[in-house]
Structure 1
Amino acid sequence: MLDRRNLLRAGGVLAATVATGAAAGAPAAGAPAAGRRRCPDWSALRSRIQGDVVLPGDAAYDASKQLAIGEYDAVTPAGIVYGETPADVQAVVRFAQDNSLTLRTRSGGHNFAGWSTGEGLVLDVRRMNHVTGGGSPTVHVGPGTQSIEALGVLKQYGQGMVTGTCHDVCVGGYYSGGGVGYQSRPFGIGSDRMVSAKVVLADGRLVTASERSNPDLFWALRGSGGGNWGVLVDVEMRPISVPRMVFYEQIWSWDDAEKFLDTWQQWYRTTPRNSTGQVIVIQPDAGSGNPPIVLQQGAYYGTKEEADAGLAELAGLVGSTPATSKVLDLPFADGMQYVYGLAEGGSHPRTLWQRMRARIVDQPLGTAGTAAALAAFESAPRTGQTRYLSFVGLGGAVGDKAPTDTAFVHRGALFHIGYGVALPDASPTDEDVNAAVGWATTGFNVINPLSGGHSYINFPDMYLDNWQNAYYGVNYDRLKRLKRAYDPYRFFDHPRAIGN
């Protein structure tokens, strides 16, 4: 039977919630970093920090420079530093400036565009993975804490947190970009539950951002993406109370795909607020001739009877039944193990090369739009491409705030729709790259007119025009002003950083 674990193994690219947007540092006192100094005193840095410094030639270097996507193994940082304390982070920021080294910050390393690595210094915060205060109204979580780690700690207190759909996405990047996921519809996006954050700024200061302290920075940290303002070293957030979760997973026949997907979008729009869902159309090898797989997953934060009734209603509207169906009433943390594909001993194979082109939409595509989206999915079949078309459901509590309440502007979002493609080689040929990007762009061009031109910064698209409006909309001018105030020399920088 094709379960989620096997689909992940076949596809290798399903719905990873993104994590860390890269950071490139900004001089505290004056000049922006200009490039690599000939001989930085790495031994001096080692003596100042609790964490480790890994350099080219060290045994751990090749593994330390890896991100979640193999394509970026080709990047060769001057050094990778594992920060373990806020003081470590402060020392690394100052060291980078003193030695004219660019700085990128990495937590989970999932950034699709590779912004969490670079040729300068990479600051890895994954060892800052604390979870404290469980059982209290707020808890403190480190930026390098993986989703699965946080849920494991909070489980004993009957608490949870808003996470994405990939177990090793880390808090730092996920919250910085907003944080959409399996709990967004009933509980809001991750950053909406932030109470405060501790941040090391470009000038080396450790500051607290909250509604009362640096409120403008607090506003910006919630949805603008990582790598813009500083290095998060701690997040205080309100956990969610979710003792149980009814997880469901269904596979629908490709013959029913058009009717099902059109109906599902309408059905999802009116489902109860305590439910969430996604549909992923997957083709592990687009040149195999095998039909794509239509995978529906979701959760009800209610009773199994409620979930059964909702799924029966959907099947009735489609006029068909799924080929397979699984509905499980589980403790919340156990249910998330199924979301992550780990409940039955699964693992996530490393993606070697990947692109995704996506939009945020505020209404169903409609019958004609859905048919066109599936036709684009089937276009130009090519052996070796793993393809997916994902519809991630939003709505509900995502819209409880106004677009200008935080930097996350997409409050009318109903779906995040994306065309993703992966290749089995970290260094594919130009022909393979062009074919893969061309296919994803064909799909993007279908959904683009049906969207408001908005995209999600945690799923960066390196081919996107007018990205400033797509990611930030009416909030962009304010973000630019704040960038000039908090990082005037643009120490924290990457290709889609605020102001570029």
Structure 2
Amino acid sequence: MKRRSTAKHAKEVRIHTRSAAASEQVRWRAPFTHDQLATFERQVRGRVVVPSDPDYEIARQVFYRQFQCFPEIIVYCECSSDVRNCLAFAATHDLKPVCRSSGHSSAGFSINNSMVIDLSQINSVWVDRVMRRAIVGGGTSFHRLNAVLSDFGLHVPGGGCDDVCVGGYMQGGGYGFTSREFGMNCDNVMQFEMMLWNGGIVVADETTNSDLYWCVRGGMGSNFGVLLSITYQLHDVGEMYGFGLSWDTADAPAALVMLQQDYIVGPALEKLGYQCAVMIADTRPRFYMRGLYNGDQRSCAEMIEPLRDLPGTHLDIQMTGRYVELNHRLLDEPVPIPSAPDYVFEEKQSGYIDKTLDAKDWKAMLDFMATCPNPWNDIGMEPYGGAIARSDDPNSFVHRDAYMNFFLEVFWFRQEDYQTNIDWLNDFMELMAPFMNGQSYQNYPRPGFKDAENAYWGDYLGTLAQVKSKYNPFDWFANPQHIQPPMTEPPGAPPPKGPKFPDTPIVYSQAPLP
């Protein structure tokens, strides 16, 4: 006698348990019936969660706990057919789908009150060592990807947080320690596979659907479709040298001036990746630099010797190892500093510094940081230059010419502390505005951010809107800061800035839904 698989048996138990519990309720408020839900759940391989399920409270949470939404349905997709079934179910029952890989959107764009298509189970990693390529599922976390690539001695620029997944990260650009040598994460994409609103799957690269290929790499998630997989060009890396330096408030301005003037522009500096932060330590601001050098300790020591010779420089960390080890050590375990409480609320805003600051300017920043309303708020700096600045219209990531991405994170634990921290954040960004170019990193969105479209995409916005209208004509995956449909230009208006694309047809690897 044929026996049913354990997974199918568990799904049937879940369906019948849910149905039995619901029969005792007064009414079913969902826009679909129990029978419709049961039919759908049997169609997908992944797990389906609805509000009556015991695991719903956990399933609806995202990284930023202030976003408390209550979806009608959450689906943990395991394959592309699951995603297609989700889109068909959404269309049938008038649901608004939103995609979630890790739930790290700082503006809460990966959760809503309708339908969540969770991609975290589409997380395979296939590596071709000879060709130095990897095909990576859109829901793959960097914890998984970095660990797999490390075994092959290969690398692609990645973020500092292990929980972040490649899908949303790549579509927003993707900055990491090695971006100054190898470019943004989106610059290393050779091809990707995406499901469109109608269930059709398209492949995009330099020759096939080249307009979509250009737009998605920097165009931000929830604009064009559901990203299923990414093919990366990888880089050979061996052991690297990691270090940490820090300065107190009095000595930090000189270090900041030297970093901006001498450690951003220059070919010899590209192997030196670093990130900086100002945090509160012992009730006062302290400036931290965390660096990773793709080479040996001696070469790095010679390069950073002027920094180490500055008055008040402290050497906090020095170690040699693989990227996966150093990335974790440098960013997750720096030095003893106040940690934000568990389940803390957070908001952040990003801006791009494109002007040179002097010691007086940096001191004003540090003085303002000294007024911080709690010990957890921090300033972050991600220097650009190198391979990031060399690229000329490779994709829609427009932020190429700035010195650094500069952002502020504020935290609060009690709701009564919310407004104090938000006001402080706004005042800080106003203080720094004269040194910024008006743009903002789309991977750090902020709720209610004004003129977000121009801040995220600048002169590329017109091209992005035109291409979006081709692949996502009904704006299915919209969020509050999405790319708006193209507006009718007056006669004689100049064409949108960006590359000219051939009128390539959409190539479906599977037939779209009717």
Structure 1-normalised TM-score?
0.86
Structure 1 residues 385 and 334, CA, compared in 2 at 3 Å: closer, same or farther?
Answer: closer
What is aligned with 2:70?
76
Instruction: Give the stretch that moved more between structures: 162-171 or 289-298.
Output: 289-298
State yes or no: 1:341 paired with 2:332: yes
What is aligned with 2:197?
202
In 1, Cα distance between equivalents of 2:30 and 2:442: 28
1:85-484 aligned at under 5 Å gives the runs: 85-135=79-129, 136-270=131-265, 272-283=269-280, 290-316=283-309, 318-322=310-314, 324-341=315-332, 350-379=342-371, 381-382=372-373, 384=374, 386-402=376-392, 404-425=393-414, 428-429=415-416, 432-484=417-469
In 2, Cα distance between equivalents of 1:263 and 1:336: 24
Secondary structure at 2:157's aligned position in 1? coil
| Cα-to-partner distance string for 1:309-365 (whole Å, 9 max, x where unaligned) | 22321133x33321x432212122222231342699x99975521111220123433
Give the residue type in structure 1 aligned to 2:307: L
Whether the 8 Å contact between 1:179 and 1:189 is mirrored in structure 2 is: yes
| Cα-to-partner distance string for 1:5-55 (whole Å, 9 max, x where unaligned) | xxxxxxxxxxxxxxxxxxxxxxxxxxxxxx973547221221111101011
Whether the 8 Å contact between 1:376 and 1:442 is mirrored in structure 2 is: no
Secondary structure at 1:453's aligned position in 2? coil
Instruction: Give the stretch that moved more between structures: 354-363 or 233-242.
Output: 354-363
What is aligned with 1:60?
55
In 1, Cα distance between equivalents of 2:333 and 2:55: 27
Secondary structure at 2:476's aligned position in 1? coil
Structure 1 residues 339 and 95, CA, compared in 2 at 3 Å: closer, same or farther?
Answer: farther
Shift, 1:207, TM fit: 1.0
Q: How many residue pairs are counted as aligned between the two chains?
A: 451
Whether the 8 Å contact between 1:103 and 1:120 is mirrored in structure 2 is: yes
Question: RMSD of the alignment, in Å?
Answer: 2.2
| Cα-to-partner distance string for 1:149-202 (whole Å, 9 max, x where unaligned) | 111111111111210111111000100101111111011000101011110101
Secondary structure at 1:223's aligned position in 2? helix
User: Among residues 465, 472, 489, which one is paired with 2:474 in the alignment?
Assistant: 489
Secondary structure at 1:92's aligned position in 2? helix
Shift, 1:79, TM fit: 1.1
Whether the 8 Å contact between 2:244 and 2:288 is mirrored in structure 1 is: yes
Whether the 8 Å contact between 1:225 and 1:458 is mirrored in structure 2 is: yes
| Cα-to-partner distance string for 1:234-288 (whole Å, 9 max, x where unaligned) | 100111211122111123223322232233322322461110112111127xxxx
In 2, Cα distance between equivalents of 1:224 and 1:400: 19
Secondary structure at 1:364's aligned position in 2? coil
Structure 1 residues 182 and 351, CA, compared in 2 at 3 Å: closer, same or farther?
Answer: farther
Structure 2-normalised TM-score?
0.83
Give the residue type in structure 1 aligned to 2:301: D
What is aligned with 1:23?
none
Structure 1 residues 42 and 352, CA, compared in 2 at 3 Å: closer, same or farther?
Answer: farther
Shift, 1:290, TM fit: 1.2
Give the residue type in structure 2 aligned to 1:408: F
In 1, Cα distance between equivalents of 2:368 and 2:407: 12
Secondary structure at 1:116's aligned position in 2? coil
Instruction: Give the stretch that moved more between structures: 416-425 or 107-116.
Output: 416-425
In 1, Cα distance between equivalents of 2:377 and 2:280: 5
Give the residue type in structure 2 aligned to 1:98: T
Whether the 8 Å contact between 1:249 and 1:297 is mirrored in structure 2 is: yes
In 1, Cα distance between equivalents of 2:382 and 2:351: 11
In 2, Cα distance between equivalents of 1:339 and 1:221: 30
Give the residue type in structure 2 aligned to 1:308: A
In 2, Cα distance between equivalents of 1:139 and 1:386: 38
Structure 2, unmatched stretches of 5+, are: 1-28, 486-514
Structure 1 residues 348 and 204, CA, compared in 2 at 3 Å: closer, same or farther?
Answer: farther
In 1, Cα distance between equivalents of 2:254 and 2:464: 42
In 2, Cα distance between equivalents of 1:385 and 1:333: 29
Give the residue type in structure 1 aligned to 2:233: R
In 2, Cα distance between equivalents of 1:153 and 1:278: 24
Structure 1 residues 94 and 340, CA, compared in 2 at 3 Å: closer, same or farther?
Answer: farther
Give the residue type in structure 2 aligned to 1:180: Y
Structure 1, unmatched stretches of 5+, are: 1-34
In 1, Cα distance between equivalents of 2:246 and 2:236: 30
Give the residue type in structure 2 aligned to 1:312: E
What is aligned with 1:11?
none
Whether the 8 Å contact between 1:202 and 1:230 is mirrored in structure 2 is: yes
What is aligned with 2:490?
none
Whether the 8 Å contact between 2:248 and 2:286 is mirrored in structure 1 is: yes
Give the residue type in structure 2 aligned to 1:406: N
Whether the 8 Å contact between 1:398 and 1:413 is mirrored in structure 2 is: no
Give the residue type in structure 2 aligned to 1:401: S
Rg larger in structure: 2
Structure 1 residues 205 and 152, CA, compared in 2 at 3 Å: closer, same or farther?
Answer: same
Instruction: Give the stretch that moved more between structures: 361-370 or 471-480.
Output: 361-370
Whether the 8 Å contact between 1:283 and 1:293 is mirrored in structure 2 is: yes
